[in-house]
Amino acid sequence: MDANEHKSLRYDLKVFLALDNSEQQVILRELYHRVHGSKKDLMQSHLEQILKVLRTNVSGKRKEFGPGKVLYRKRDYFEVKDVE
């Protein structure tokens, strides 16, 4: 993955939340793989914590998304960025 690609990891929250639970999990697993090159370190419990953050109706929440990455939940979207 090109380093510049990491800057555009933003996803529409309304579209994501309209999907069923299994589809949401598939998307998050694929996103994790895209960011880290592997899904082996993504545990089901961590995935459920991420989904809880995304499903809560509170903007500004964040959750660690593997080494060096954070998932931010905004009002209309969520994104994965480098830890600042």
The reported pTM is 0.85
Q: What gap in Å lies between CA 8 and CA 28, rounded to an integer?
A: 15
Decide if 47 contacts 55 (C-beta within 8 A). Answer: no
Tens digits of per-residue pLDDT, 8-26? 589 999 999 999 999 999 9
Q: Is 80 helix (H, G, I), strand (E, B) or coil?
A: strand
Q: What gap in Å lies between CA 32 and CA 64, rounded to an integer?
A: 11
Structural domains in the chain plus CATH codes: 3-82 (3.30.465.60)
Q: What gap in Å lies between CA 44 and CA 83, rounded to an integer?
A: 22
Residue 1 binned pLDDT confidence (cut-offs 50, 70, 90): very low
Q: How remote is the C-alpha of 61 from its chain's centroid?
A: 12
Residue 40 binned pLDDT confidence (cut-offs 50, 70, 90): confident
